[in-house]
Structures are given as C-alpha cells and as structure tokens.
Amino acid sequence: MSSIEQWKLSYQVSPIFLTGPPVANVPNGMLPFLSIVNPGAFPATSNTPGMASQSFDLNTLSMDAATLDNAFGAFNVLAGGSLIQQTVAKYPFANQSYAANAILRDPLHVSLIWDTPMRGANAWGTKLTVMQSVKQRLEVHNNNGGTYIVVTPAYVYDNMVMLALTDASRGSSNLPQNAWRFDFERPLIVLQELRRAQSALMSKLTNGVITDGAWSGPAAGLGSITSIPNMSSGPSAPIPSLTASGVPAGTPSGPSTQGSASGGGIGSVGFIGGV
C-alpha cells in the first residue's frame, strides 16, 4: 500500500474510533467509524466452531486507491482545533512573572467535516440508510458513556466526547446535506487532570499554601488530593493500543494514555462499492 493510500485511509476515510465501555468487547477496545458506514468491508472471523464473528481490524482489509477515492465520505480537519488551551486569571498582577503563572488549563477541542457526495444509481437510498445508521449508532454510543479517538495529521486526540453532529453543507454543491460537522472536546473531569489544570502559583493559592518564591515546577499541584478514583470511562480510562488497529505513529493526548501509539501505518481499507 502506497503512502498516499495510507494517508487517505488514516485521515480521510476512517479517522474516528469509538472507544469506552460500549465497545469494550470489540478487539483492542476500538471500533473504527468505517464499520458503521460500511460493515461489510470487514471480514467475518470465527474462533469457535459453528459461530461466526466479525473482526474490525483495519489491517485485515485490502483496498486500492480507486476504492478509497469512491468512499461514501471523506473527512477533513477544520481550522480552530486546539493543542494547548489556557485561560489567564482576570485580575491585576504585581508583575509579569505572576501573570505568566496564574493560568488555568482548558479542555482541548477538535472538529472534522465529513463531505458525503452521492454516487451510483441508488445514491439517495444509500445515503438515507447510511446516515440513519450513523445517527443511531453514535447516539447509543454517546448515551452509554462512549468516548472517541480522533486521528489528525498533527495529533492523535484521545478520550474525546462528542459535542455535536450538524449539517455543514457547502454552498458550492447543489446537493442537500452534502457535508456534516463532527465536534469533539476532551473535558477535564477527573482529579488526575486537575493536578495539571492549575499552574504552580494558582495551585498554591487554591490550597492556601504559603509561597516560597517557587512559582513553577513539578512540586506544585493540588496538595489536598491524595487519591485518584478508578473510573471505567473518561480521561482516566486506559487507552487501547492504537498500533493494533492500524492508527499511524503518534502519541495520544493526555497523561492517562497507557496504550502504545507508535508503530507502522494502516492497512488498506475503503468503502466497498461507493455510492
């Protein structure tokens, strides 16, 4: 598989993975978005005689460039996503050093747009069927505490929650509902994140600690926090191995990442029989 085909697969055809408790029984704990749009693209496997199952490993698929080009939709990253997001306190400071240390870390966010052109003789019927399936599957996933991994060329966002899926049709096309916007955010919701949400100075002020002149460094934090809860989902949950599912090399965001995000590229995959 050429590097161009790997790029199309990784960042355009299926850059979103469903994770968390709703897909805990899926191998590697990750369900690629492509499995919702075109579940028939994944081969059936059976580990038990007489019982058929389905593998959702992208590496098991073999698609050529033409098939990838004719996928049901293509993703692109929208401008405005964040890698670092911080807020500075809104009151006067004694000097610049205090101002630079009085910051709070904010959640990261990223948005994708999914262009869904219509191809084939039964394009209208296919689009209705696929979009109904996408809506139903994502609603069930969200309602049961599901999270997402979003793969972008610059960063791999993990432990994301979906904020919205909305119509973002482009005016250049006469087709209705020709593009869809996916909005994700990585919230700060556990004590492990709170340890890093406040800068050194802000942490000391929060806890009423007498400062000794050291405004930054690893010693600062929320000193009153002595334990971290073991939650089944959210930023504290272990992240499955991305390499096993064919995600390109890179390190997922956040301190809670426990799976390996390095390794080889993604195997060939695409939408069979694009519409």
Residue 253 belongs to a domain: no
- Residues in CB range of 100: below 8 A, 6 or more apart: none
- pLDDT in the model for residue 43: 58
Residue 268 belongs to a domain: no
- pLDDT in the model for residue 71: 76
Same domain, 96 and 182: yes
Same domain, 162 and 199: no
Same domain, 82 and 105: yes
- Give the pLDDT mean for 118-147: 90
User: Tens digit of pLDDT for each residue in 211-259?
Assistant: 555 544 444 444 444 444 444 444 444 555 566 566 655 545 544 444 4
Same domain, 179 and 215: no
- How wide is the angle at C-alpha 228 spanned by C-alphas 223 and 230, nearest 5°? 175
The dihedrals phi and psi of 173, each to the nearest 5 degrees, come to: -115, 145
Residue 54 belongs to a domain: yes
User: What does the mean pLDDT of the chain come to?
Assistant: 73
Q: Are 195 and 221 in contact (CB under 8 A)?
A: yes
Same domain, 127 and 204: no
Instruction: Give the chain's domain count.
Output: 2
* DSSP 8-state class, residue 33: T
Residue 72 belongs to a domain: yes
CA pair distance 269, 247, nearest whole angstrom? 12
| Nearest residue to 21 (alpha-carbon basis) of 240, 250, 182 | 240
Residue 142 belongs to a domain: yes
Predicted model pTM = 0.67
Residue 210 belongs to a domain: yes
Same domain, 87 and 220: no
Residue 220 structural domain: 192-234
* Cα dihedral sign, 21-25-26-29: positive
Q: How confident is the model at residue 112 (pLDDT cuts 50, 70, 90)?
A: very high
Same domain, 83 and 170: yes
127 sits in which H/E element = helix 123-143
Same domain, 59 and 156: yes
| Nearest residue to 246 (alpha-carbon basis) of 31, 26, 43, 37 | 31
Same domain, 102 and 198: no
Residue 114 belongs to a domain: yes
DSSP string, 54-115: E---GGG----HHHHHT-S-EEEEPTT--S--EEE-SS--SSHHHHHH-EEE--EEEEEEEE
- pLDDT in the model for residue 167: 95
Residue 138 belongs to a domain: yes
| Nearest residue to 75 (alpha-carbon basis) of 40, 47, 113 | 113
- pLDDT in the model for residue 203: 66
